[in-house]
Chain A
């Protein structure tokens, strides 16, 4: 097997810079504002120079680098950006595995006929990602995932790192043991035992490591010896129903955008119903005239195939948003598709119980506001009476 690892350091920060290139020379901290009681989610290379690392409190990051630019966390944006990278990689191989944000593996087996050498393949992947996504990845190639991942961390944007088959153990021998994908506790214990480089672990008897560290010891031993039989697991693309609409002239009002979305839904909802499916999430991308696109995703409390419900949610979201320019293109996606879910009503009592609870609440509020409960209920007194005023009456209502 030939595994190509594509590695992009500080991916979230890179995605932010891609969207706003003027941020490139500034230290960027992602996670919130300096006063937020949250940890740093990610930071740029410029911020690392100031001692900022993911996981430290935002306040501490601000103390370390007061001039850093703090950006609110938008995980959806980073996931979308990384999916763009994965889409490019799928042009080379159908087997692409995402390993968190910023690292992906692809199966390079059988590409020898298309690319003269591994270096040519690596450079081609690098240039395609760079041209299509404007992000420069680092590429490592080896016979297994771990060696390829380590090779990628050692590569530079201009120079891929290629590990020849059979040379994995030698390649890893002098590298630090903390590159192993094991728990921090195990790494600390290895360090206490003086086991700080791969070759030290590789030379130990497997039984000894297994006795001391269990499964993690076995894994560390195998990886340090350049053996990694973990298969590549292709990413599963989320089922999505998509439609898009380009506008001849920019749409300036929410009503016209909604009318266009209504047209898209007219095409999508019948498809959804024909498949007997419901959607759990709405994704909307509005391309704005002359500025960056506006993205939003709406998670539904209950999956639905109702056009009225979907339109209502989109309308609510659009009316709460502000657009700096007219909309030139609309992309609408319905995701988290699944089978219809039957709703089982409770026997008889559910609505009555809910109504009673609402009435009790209303009575309490009226009592608090007016000082007395003005609610009355109609009661049957003598329903069979021939005299109308004897049939029913109003009684005090104390729910």
Chain B
């Protein structure tokens, strides 16, 4: 049996007026974003269970860089190791 690696994990994101992430809540602690370093979209597998994600590589004010995406089908936010 093979267990997939780098599965997405739900994360709480606070967005700004334009729908872009502005703060991340992890372990009950909210961290403001310092910058959005990159963003891209993945739209795939429309022929079976469609995937449509908007990815953001963001830098937190405390320093770490993380990758999050907005699932455009379920409207949920996830953190994912890339």
- List residues of chain A with CB under 8 Å of any chain B CB: 376, 378-379, 381, 386-396
List A contacts of B1 (CB < 8 A): 395-396
Dominant secondary structure of chain B at its interface with chain A: loop
Closest to B53 in A: A387
B5 adjacent to A394 (CB under 8 Å) = yes
Rounded to whole angstroms, the CA-CA distance of A143 and B77 in the bound complex is: 105
Chain B positions 2 through 46: 1 when the CB is less than 8 Å from some CB of chain A, otherwise 0: 111111100000000000000000000000000000000010110
List B contacts of A395 (CB < 8 A): 1-3
B51 adjacent to A378 (CB under 8 Å) = no
Rounded to whole angstroms, the CA-CA distance of A388 and B53 in the bound complex is: 12
List A contacts of B6 (CB < 8 A): 388-389, 391-392
Rounded to whole angstroms, the CA-CA distance of A391 and B4 in the bound complex is: 8
A387 adjacent to B2 (CB under 8 Å) = no
Min Cβ gap A396→B in Å is 7
From A386, A389, A396, give the contact of B5 (CB < 8 A): A389
- B81: CB under 8 A from chain A? yes
A389 adjacent to B2 (CB under 8 Å) = no
From A381, A386, A388, give the contact of B2 (CB < 8 A): A381
B3 adjacent to A388 (CB under 8 Å) = no
- B80: CB under 8 A from chain A? yes
Q: Give chain B's interface residue range (CB within 8 Å of chain A).
A: 10 to 19
B81 adjacent to A388 (CB under 8 Å) = yes
Known: A386-B44, A389-B8. A394 touches B2 (CB 8 A): yes
A393 adjacent to B42 (CB under 8 Å) = no
List A contacts of B42 (CB < 8 A): 386-387
Min Cβ gap B16→A in Å is 26
Rounded to whole angstroms, the CA-CA distance of A392 and B81 in the bound complex is: 12
List B contacts of A396 (CB < 8 A): 1
The 5 A-B pairs of least Cβ separation, nearest first, read A393-B2, A394-B3, A389-B4, A388-B6, A393-B4
B44 adjacent to A378 (CB under 8 Å) = no
- B47: CB under 8 A from chain A? no
B46-70 residues with Cβ-Cβ distance < 8 A to A are: 51
Rounded to whole angstroms, the CA-CA distance of A393 and B3 in the bound complex is: 5
Rounded to whole angstroms, the CA-CA distance of A177 and B3 in the bound complex is: 87
Min Cβ gap A37→B in Å is 58
With a 10 A CB-CB cut-off, give which of B4, B44, B45, B80 has the most chain A CB atoms: B4
15 contacts across the A-B interface (CB closer than 8 A): A386-B42, A386-B44, A387-B42, A387-B45, A387-B51, A388-B80, A388-B81, A389-B4, A389-B7, A391-B6, A392-B4, A392-B6, A393-B4, A393-B5, A395-B3
Known: A388-B80, A388-B82. A381 touches B4 (CB 8 A): yes
